[in-house]
Amino acid sequence: MSYETLLYDLTDGIAEIRLNRPQRLNAVTQQLYDELNDALTRAEAERDARVVLITGEGRAFCVGADLKAHKVGRTAFDRRQYLKGEQDVCHRLLHMKTPVIAAVNGYALGAGAEIAIASDFMLMAESAQIGLPEISIGNFLGGGVTWLLPRLVGLAKARELVFLGERIGGAEAVRIGLANRVFPDEGFLDAARAFALKVASKAPFSMQLAKEQLNLSAERTLDACLTAELEGMMFVGTTKDWQEGVDAFAEKRAPVFKGE
């Protein structure tokens, strides 16, 4: 399957999705949201896909809405469907079984920032910048960022990022807990792929459970978390990957997990 606004590739367990509207700095349209949702569904269904890596083609990750494409001919229904497209994408990023890495090259603004924030890991190039300018232009936030951002950086810093709409670089994003790693511009995508390979080498069922439990932790009591962890430990103990992990540890070698 081919896409008009994306590039999709599956290599070495990495389902790589590149936003591919470089002439518009990968600004989002309804078609891009539709195709991104489809690509994420495809990646989650791929047995060989252990991790999803999202990045942008050209000079930017994603600069948010393509305002030029939205100027004329849209009904209120069309606008709502477009806005829901982002909500659907970010909901899928948060809930899909496969871990997701956002490799932020260049600008990640508005909806682009929200897609990166909804991913499980955010990696940034040294020159990359991320920001939430919505309030500054009379718009509002989407993608669950009002739920996610305070959990990542704390309420005070979340207010600052949202109310002021200022852009921050990779080093600052890592310092406040918004991003995981910052890498040099030169070789950035190679570094992001190397990080993705590390994630892809882990046990798929264990990662799936860890993602689910970590995302739900703030909504659960300690007792509920303990019960869920017990069920998770019992479940993974029935898998071939669990036995492979035990054997690899005993044999002093790296495990080879197969998602079985």
Q: Give the catalytic positions in this structure.
A: 114, 134
The answer to whether 5 and 19 have CB atoms below 8 angstroms apart is yes
The tokens 């920032």 sit on which residue? 113
The answer to whether 119 and 138 have CB atoms below 8 angstroms apart is no
Residue type, 206: S
Q: What size, in residues, is the chain?
A: 260
Strand order in the sheet with 107-109: 107-109, 129-131, 168-169
3-class SS letters over the chain: CCCCCEEEEEECCEEEEEECCHHHCCCECHHHHHHHHHHHHHHHHCCCCCEEEEEECCCCCECCECHHHHCCCCCHHHHHHHHHHHHHHHHHHHHCCCCEEEEECCEEECHHHHHHHHCCEEEEECCCEEECCHHHHCCCCCCCHHHHHHHHHCHHHHHHHHHHCCCEEHHHHHHCCCCCEEECCCCHHHHHHHHHHHHHCCCHHHHHHHHHHHHHHHHCCHHHHHHHHHHHHHHHCCCHHHHHHHHHHHCCCCCCCCCC
Q: State the Cα–Cα distance between residues 127 and 106, nearest whole angstrom.
A: 7
